[in-house]
């Protein structure tokens, strides 16, 4: 057996030629060193055309334990899985150990994928080709082998003209090809057809069958390449993206060479083209693609590569989501950003284009498809920088619509909260003042009757406490429903007075009556005062049954409401008796505060007060 290794720079692949290896040399009996867990999905894996061979590093890569080999590999070696699993590679297959050890060790240490190609020769005749990919995953080294031919004695190449020729054979499987252009005619190698994935056609000599397939974004690049190569430049290296007829996007590494005569006229052009897409998945080959790929799932943030370059710009997918347009609509239009931003921003763009400024950071509102009802708030930043003696630009477009809305809501809520706290503080202090003033007034009027003062103050305190309790969770102090206040006030009175004096309290309140706190506060205090008067004067005979104080509060018209408070007591014989007392003075003053009017009625039974008051009141506190 003879082995020859060579590194193919163009393809970044290690090619190993193996001469005259026989079946008996592939495997040999070896002691089973380790009991390993069975590989899951063995049955499925055995049906794959690609073999998955798994090796476990042994003593930091000094050797490798075979965990499992692919079905094609086993079949060709005429050996079973049980005969190889748990054995050291060096003992079980010295030949594969010799072929693979260095590469397995390299991948195990670097964790970087490695590509190899094994060419098996028998008597200088190519018998088999195996493409190999070595990867490291989950502590194991995986060797994926793809055998283009499974008959170990014959190797049939579809185009019989080429079947003896190694170069052509490699070309046949290769994703690397070349072309010449001489006297205006093109000549294409098989590798090119492998790349573009179609058969030869007679007209292929008339045009560039690869550049023709360039995706719209790269058409300007093709123009540039051809222009550059025709103008005396002898080489060009770059990456071009094409879309094959069957719809595959491929990344091609292009190396062009041109020859010119002494007059500078183009004699011939030679192109070396390599498919660097690597299989089905899109392999990122350019740093730009790497960056763009990193942003592909972001719908709120878009990366803008060269936004100031009119031809060579690329935006990540999020850009099209943010602006609400298809990529096709926008991909080749000039100055597309100018279409979405406001006039002020456009002016700044112009300055940036003219390099009057070197960076831009603007927030603007964008009407999606011109719809004024569908606006987005976006932020755009673009920076110009120098690299490799050329000017470049990079930018970001961020959709901050939701952030802005949330921020605005928070600001409003915060402002509202501040106002509310200020308002509550004010009200608490004001009410403390009212209670303090009540106490001062009571002390003057009832110097030697502390029990009366306590009764009165307790009742007022309860009324103001109801106000606080009810407005604790309220944000709107201007539309407070009165009914529940009065019900609560009744409940308090029952607890404080009703049970002790045997008086029943009853209320009927118009449920649609909403009042501002500026009205409710004096109204509750008036009701308190009138109720206390009734308790004090209406029922001199404490033992009489069915003592009752009722309230009826109803809407009279859009701006007026009325309170009727009555008792079924003894009534007032001489009105002047009560007009001089403190209670009466408080009632008069609170009525004045309400801008209301109070009347003493003379029903057949008991006493009745009628208070008419406006339901709205302008007050600087409500501004």
Partner 1 sequence: MNERILVVEDEAITALDLKYSLEELGYEVIDTVDTGQAAIDTAAEKTPDVVLMDIKLKGDMEGIEAAEVISEWDIPIIYLTANTDTDTFEKSNVKGSYGFVSKPYDINKLDKTLKITINRAKLEQKKLNDASGFTE
Residue matched to tokens 């009555």: 566
Q: How far is the CB of 423 from partner 1 (least distance, A)?
A: 10
Is the CB of residue 211 less than 8 Å from the CB of residue 325?
no
Is 171 or 518 the residue whose CB approaches partner 1 more closely? 518
Is 397 or 519 the residue whose CB approaches partner 1 more closely? 519
- Residue from 11, 306, 483, 585 touching partner 1 (CB under 8 A): that is 585
584 binds partner 1 (CB under 8 A): no
Is the CB of residue 419 less than 8 Å from the CB of residue 376?
no
Q: How far is the CB of 492 from partner 1 (least distance, A)?
A: 19
Candidate segments 139-147, 297-305, 318-326, 584-592, binder of partner 1 by CB under 8 A: 584-592
592 binds partner 1 (CB under 8 A): yes
Residue matched to tokens 């297959």: 93
Is 550 or 615 the residue whose CB approaches partner 1 more closely? 615
Task: Name 463's Cβ contacts closer than 8 Å, sequence gap at least 6.
Answer: 489, 492, 524, 525, 527, 528
522 binds partner 1 (CB under 8 A): yes
449 binds partner 1 (CB under 8 A): no
432 binds partner 1 (CB under 8 A): yes
Specify which residues 360 forms β-bridges with: 382
Long-range contacts formed by 14-19: CB under 8 A, 24+ apart: 14/103, 14/114, 14/115, 14/116, 14/117, 15/116, 15/117, 15/119, 16/99, 16/116, 16/117, 16/118, 16/119, 17/119, 17/121, 18/99, 18/118, 18/119, 18/120, 18/121, 19/121, 19/122, 19/124
CA 300 from chain centre, in angstroms, equals 7
Is 379 or 589 the residue whose CB approaches partner 1 more closely? 589
Nearest Cα residue to 42 out of 18, 21, 70:
70
On the CB side of 474, how many CA atoms lie within 13 Å of its CA?
16
Candidate segments 251-259, 409-417, 474-482, 585-593, binder of partner 1 by CB under 8 A: 585-593
Strands in 456-546 per DSSP E = 480-481, 503-509, 514-515
Candidate segments 156-164, 250-258, 263-271, 438-446, binder of partner 1 by CB under 8 A: 438-446
Q: How far is the CB of 616 from partner 1 (least distance, A)?
A: 12
Instruction: Give SS3 for 379.
Output: strand
- Residue from 444, 545, 576, 580 touching partner 1 (CB under 8 A): that is 444
Nearest Cα residue to 470 out of 505, 411, 520, 431:
520
Q: How far is the CB of 430 from partner 1 (least distance, A)?
A: 4
- Residue from 422, 500, 542, 554 touching partner 1 (CB under 8 A): that is 422
- Residue from 590, 596, 598, 611 touching partner 1 (CB under 8 A): that is 590
Is 318 or 522 the residue whose CB approaches partner 1 more closely? 522
417 binds partner 1 (CB under 8 A): no
- Residue from 150, 374, 440, 512 touching partner 1 (CB under 8 A): that is 440
Overall size of the chain counted in residues: 623
Q: How far is the CB of 532 from partner 1 (least distance, A)?
A: 14
Is 314 or 518 the residue whose CB approaches partner 1 more closely? 518
DSSP letter, residue 290: H
Residue 159's CB is within 10 A of a number of other CB atoms, namely 10
Alpha-carbon distance 399 to 366, whole Å?
10
Q: How far is the CB of 622 from partner 1 (least distance, A)?
A: 9
Instruction: Give SS3 for 111.
Output: coil
- Residue from 50, 154, 414, 433 touching partner 1 (CB under 8 A): that is 433
Is 417 or 495 the residue whose CB approaches partner 1 more closely? 417
Alpha-carbon distance 198 to 192, whole Å?
9
Is 69 or 586 the residue whose CB approaches partner 1 more closely? 586
On the 0-12 / 13-18 / 19+ scale of CB atoms within 10 A, 603 is: exposed
Alpha-carbon distance 111 to 140, whole Å?
10
- For partner 1, what does the binding mask look like between residues 376 and 395, x meaning CB under 8 A? --------------------
586 binds partner 1 (CB under 8 A): yes
Long-range contacts formed by 320-329: CB under 8 A, 24+ apart: 322/376, 322/378, 322/397, 322/399, 323/366, 323/368, 323/397, 324/368, 324/369, 324/374, 324/376, 325/369, 328/216
15 binds partner 1 (CB under 8 A): no
Candidate segments 137-145, 174-182, 474-482, 615-623, binder of partner 1 by CB under 8 A: 615-623
Is 90 or 589 the residue whose CB approaches partner 1 more closely? 589
215 binds partner 1 (CB under 8 A): no
Q: How far is the CB of 424 from partner 1 (least distance, A)?
A: 11
Is 514 or 593 the residue whose CB approaches partner 1 more closely? 593
DSSP letter, residue 88: B
Candidate segments 32-40, 176-184, 437-445, 499-507, binder of partner 1 by CB under 8 A: 437-445
532 binds partner 1 (CB under 8 A): no
468 binds partner 1 (CB under 8 A): no
Candidate segments 236-244, 298-306, 419-427, 540-548, binder of partner 1 by CB under 8 A: 419-427
Is the CB of residue 575 less than 8 Å from the CB of residue 600?
yes
434 binds partner 1 (CB under 8 A): yes
Is 329 or 433 the residue whose CB approaches partner 1 more closely? 433
426 binds partner 1 (CB under 8 A): yes
DSSP letter, residue 603: -
Residue 47's CB is within 10 A of a number of other CB atoms, namely 8
Is the CB of residue 463 less than 8 Å from the CB of residue 491?
no
Residue matched to tokens 């000599």: 205
Size of the site for partner 1 (CB under 8 A): 31
On the 0-12 / 13-18 / 19+ scale of CB atoms within 10 A, 64 is: buried
Q: How far is the CB of 452 from partner 1 (least distance, A)?
A: 17
Q: How far is the CB of 508 from partner 1 (least distance, A)?
A: 26
620 binds partner 1 (CB under 8 A): yes
618 binds partner 1 (CB under 8 A): yes
Binding site for partner 1 (CB under 8 A): 422, 425-427, 429-430, 432-438, 440-441, 444, 518, 522, 525, 585-586, 589-590, 592-593, 617-621, 623
């Amino acid at each position: 057996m003879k082995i020859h290794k060579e590194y193919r720079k163009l393809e970044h692949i290690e090619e190993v030629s193996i001469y005259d290896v026989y079946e008996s040399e592939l495997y040999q009996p070896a002691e089973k060193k380790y009991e390993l867990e069975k590989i899951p999905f063995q049955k499925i894996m055995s049906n794959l055309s690609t073999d998955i061979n798994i090796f476990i590093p042994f003593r930091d890569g000094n050797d490798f334990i075979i965990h499992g080999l692919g079905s094609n590999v086993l079949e060709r070696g005429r050996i079973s899985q049980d005969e190889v699993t748990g054995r050291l590679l060096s003992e079980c297959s010295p030949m594969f150990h010799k072929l693979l050890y260095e590469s397995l060790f390299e991948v195990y240490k670097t964790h970087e994928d490695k590509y190899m190609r094994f060419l098996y020769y028998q008597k200088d005749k190519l018998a088999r080709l195996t493409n190999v990919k070595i990867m490291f995953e989950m502590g194991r080294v995986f060797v994926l082998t793809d055998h283009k031919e499974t008959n170990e004695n014959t190797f049939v190449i579809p185009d019989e003209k080429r079947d003896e020729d190694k170069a052509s054979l490699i070309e046949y499987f290769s994703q690397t090809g070349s072309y010449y252009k001489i006297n205006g005619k093109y000549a294409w190698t098989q590798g090119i057809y492998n790349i573009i994935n179609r058969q030869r056609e007679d007209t292929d000599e008339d045009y560039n069958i690869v550049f023709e397939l360039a995706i719209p974004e790269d058409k300007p690049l093709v123009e540039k390449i051809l222009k550059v190569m025709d103008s005396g430049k002898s080489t060009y290296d770059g990456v071009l993206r094409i879309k094959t007829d069957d719809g595959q996007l491929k990344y091609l590494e292009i190396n062009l060479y041109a020859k010119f005569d002494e007059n500078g006229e183009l004699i011939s052009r030679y192109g070396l083209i390599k498919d660097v897409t690597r299989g089905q998945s899109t392999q990122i080959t350019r740093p730009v693609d790497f960056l763009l790929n990193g942003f592909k799932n972001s719908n709120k943030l878009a990366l803008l590569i060269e936004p100031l370059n009119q031809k060579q710009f690329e935006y990540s997918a999020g850009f099209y989501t943010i602006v609400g347009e298809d990529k096709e609509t926008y991909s080749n239009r000039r100055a597309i950003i100018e279409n979405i931003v406001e006039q002020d921003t456009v002016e700044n763009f112009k300055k940036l284009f003219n390099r009057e400024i070197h960076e831009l950071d603007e927030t603007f509102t964008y009407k999606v498809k011109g719809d004024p009802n569908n606006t987005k708030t976006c932020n755009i930043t673009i920076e110009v920088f120098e690299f490799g003696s050329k000017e470049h630009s990079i930018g970001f477009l961020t959709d901050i619509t939701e952030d802005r809305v949330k921020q605005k809501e928070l600001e409003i809520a915060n402002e509202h909260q501040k106002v509310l706290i200020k308002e509550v503080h004010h009200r608490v202090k004001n009410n403390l003042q009212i209670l303090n003033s009540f106490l001062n007034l009571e002390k003057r009027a009832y110097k030697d009757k502390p029990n009366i003062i306590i009764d009165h103050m307790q009742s007022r305190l309860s009324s103001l406490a109801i106000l606080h309790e009810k407005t604790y969770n309220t944000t709107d102090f201007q539309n407070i429903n009165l009914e529940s206040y009065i019900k609560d006030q009744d409940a308090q009175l029952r607890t404080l007075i009703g049970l002790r004096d045997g008086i029943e309290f009853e209320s009927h309140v118009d449920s649609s009556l909403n009042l501002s706190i500026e009205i409710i506060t004096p109204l509750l205090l008036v009701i308190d005062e009138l109720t206390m008067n009734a308790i004090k004067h209406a029922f001199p005979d404490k033992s009489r049954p069915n003592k009752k104080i009722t309230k009826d509060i109803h809407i009279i018209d859009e701006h007026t409401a009325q309170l009727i408070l009555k008792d079924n007591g003894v009534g007032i014989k001489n009105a002047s008796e009560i007009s001089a007392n403190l209670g009466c003075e408080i009632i008069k003053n609170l009525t004045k505060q309400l801008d209301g009017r109070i009347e003493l009625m003379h029903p057949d039974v008991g006493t009745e007060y009628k208070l008419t008051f406006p339901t709205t009141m302008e007050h600087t506190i409500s501004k």
